Structure 1
């Protein structure tokens, strides 16, 4: 008997009502994610990556079809699905510690003592390497550090699924690379199920178990799903000349380039 997927997206369609009429964002989306799997969604701008992520988060309801998490329908946001956005969304008047504590209290406040909540908060900040700056406010730390706090806030909620919408997209290349490496370590430690939106092919190959490649919108669909055959733990320098890494990178670039050229030619 085959194991049931942890996240299931079943024949999902998404249309938005706009001033110019109905906009068909996604069509016939079928996706299964296993527990503990790291999935990235990649494609050109406007292909519905963030829309699909928001559907899994429960921030949007599909026009038709159904989404399930742990065999329960996704009908609204819930603490079992934590979201990390490109914008860290920290409250500027609170310290890093208090930003994370606020999320911890919302999930565990009714059943844990204050000292337990504070310990959860501290542990999450230590996990992302922010223990030394936990009492600083957002304006006192760098962009990369703010994103670490955003990730800590999500992890402190002990979600079943970590959803990430280009969390490193606004960072410089060195900071992005460092946080990618840290994320690999964190996911290995927590065994989280992750769905992440990215525009970065190298990021997708480095982090993913599978890469979901979206066709161009409107009415975008899943074009191909590529399984990344690279053992874990992964180390970016060692992978640079690994034939499997090169092949995975080429497969994704070929898909994106071919799909983009088809659209240009059709136009």
Structure 2
């Protein structure tokens, strides 16, 4: 993790609403190295998802520049795959076909159909959904739907995986299991990940760095905390690890003491 892969240079985001101008983000400076796992954490309304959408190219900054792999981000692209809290699967398609749709969009012009099917099956196997290829979304659990959403993103072989609270709507046990699976997947794929979360434990468990946002409006980056925990990580072993507890306390101190109460912090 040596090179700067994502760069956010003095980004500002101002929305025009019926009530006037709303200044969401100000003076955002952030770099993410290739292969790094970065989480964005802060209060509701602090601009975490707005910043993620800027990196995704779903919205453009009011001022400033965003760069990915030495190219300015001006629109969405397959090199930046997004996983939302809502899995966004098409209900009339099978799990396989939901992933295949993305694979065909990215690789359909250059690869034969057999290879596209191989890519699709491999992505679903990677997230433990190889047994449910022909099931439709209503036939699988919420956690399984989210696995398919992650498989769809990974199947595009993105340079950057962007995740907006992907486990926020799941029960605690399912969320913990998918966090562990994500650790394994990222270790295998060496993906560059930027993830929005409200969960302090999730941030410390997964991250190389935690970006802590100040309260909005006109939110900015308050602090960036490096997480120097060796990988692979085991949540049970880390529960009483001094460095883990110290990182967790630093994030909680920022959120509670300096920036008020944050939901789902503990």
Asked if these proteins are the same fold (TM beyond 0.5), I'd say yes
Q: Which residue of 2 aligns with 1:231?
A: 230
Q: Map residues 29-48 of structure 1 onto 2, 5 A cutoff.
A: 29-48=28-47
From the superposition, tell whether residues 261 and 113 of structure 1 become closer, same or farther in structure 2 (CA, over 3 Å).
Answer: closer
**1:174 shift after superposition:** 0.1
Q: Which residue of 2 aligns with 1:22?
A: 21
Q: Which residue of 1 aligns with 2:139?
A: 140
**1:133 shift after superposition:** 0.6
Q: Which residue of 1 aligns with 2:264?
A: none
CA distance in 2, matches of 1:250, 1:231: 18
CA distance in 2, matches of 1:71, 1:47: 28
**1:4 shift after superposition:** 4.3
* Alignment RMSD (CA, Å): 0.9
- Is residue 184 of structure 2 the alignment partner of residue 185 of structure 1? yes
Question: Is the contact made by 1:213 and 1:225 (CA closer than 8 Å) also made in structure 2?
Answer: yes
Q: Which residue of 1 aligns with 2:153?
A: 154
What secondary structure does 1:60 align onto? Answer: coil
Question: Is the contact made by 2:3 and 2:34 (CA closer than 8 Å) also made in structure 1?
Answer: no
What secondary structure does 1:6 align onto? Answer: strand
- Is residue 212 of structure 2 the alignment partner of residue 213 of structure 1? yes
In structure 1, list runs of 5 or more residues that go unmatched: 263-267
Question: Is the contact made by 1:216 and 1:259 (CA closer than 8 Å) also made in structure 2?
Answer: no
CA distance in 1, matches of 2:134, 2:231: 34
TM-score (norm 2): 0.97
Q: Which residue of 2 aligns with 1:247?
A: 246
CA distance in 2, matches of 1:41, 1:173: 20
What secondary structure does 1:252 align onto? Answer: helix
Residue by residue over 1:160-196, the C-alpha shift from the partner in whole angstroms, topping out at 9 and shown as x without a partner, is 0000000000000000000000000000000000000
- Is residue 147 of structure 2 the alignment partner of residue 114 of structure 1? no
CA distance in 1, matches of 2:88, 2:253: 35
Residue by residue over 1:56-86, the C-alpha shift from the partner in whole angstroms, topping out at 9 and shown as x without a partner, is 0000000000000001000000000000000
TM-score (norm 1): 0.96
What secondary structure does 2:259 align onto? Answer: helix
Q: Which residue of 1 aligns with 2:168?
A: 169
- Is residue 122 of structure 2 the alignment partner of residue 123 of structure 1? yes
Residue by residue over 1:127-166, the C-alpha shift from the partner in whole angstroms, topping out at 9 and shown as x without a partner, is 0000001110000000000000000000000000000000
